[in-house]
Homo-oligomer: A and B are copies of this chain.
């Protein structure tokens, strides 16, 4: 089934993650703590949430234990973190077993539901798109007016 295999899912993921990375590239270090309202996530919190959430979903879909790829206090930039998590997330998608991509995964503990691996990846992509939609507003509020399309090569 063409559209649920790991090649389809990898391209679909990257068509959005590449845009996320473009937006991250527009966030200067002195804007990491920017938040639109007092109850909003800061730019840094939002980006770290996007990168780690997708990676966690992809690990679960691939039947691996999710691991964190950074320490809060280490010296990294959001660009470096984006590269690190994206590379590892792609590796996890490539590990998806075609024979098991339709198998239901029990997410009753975390999400209160059950879904096949391919759908977990698609839900993770939707989560990325949602927060990328937040990020577009943040980056415009930082003064950028030339922003990319929301997806590359749809």
Contact = CB atoms under 8 A, between A and B. Distances in A.
B40 A137 contact: yes
A142 B144 CA distance: 22
B137 A138 contact: yes
Interface in A122-144: 123, 126-127, 129-138, 140-141
Copies in the complex: 2
Given A119-B3, A154-B111, A39 B145 contact: yes
Given A126-B151, A129-B129, A130-B130, 20 more contacts: A3-B119, A36-B36, A36-B141, A37-B140, A39-B140, A39-B145, A40-B137, A40-B140, A115-B154, A126-B154, A129-B133, A130-B132, A130-B136, A130-B150, A131-B133, A132-B133, A133-B133, A133-B135, A133-B136, A137-B138
Contacts of A37: 140-141
Nearest to A154: B123
Contacts of A40: 137, 140
Interface residues of A, number: 32
Q: Which of A36, A133, A134 has the most CB of B within 10 A?
A: A133
Interface in A24-75: 36-37, 39-40
A15 B112 CA distance: 16
A37 B145 CA distance: 10
Given A36-B140, A39-B145, A137-B137, A150 B132 contact: no
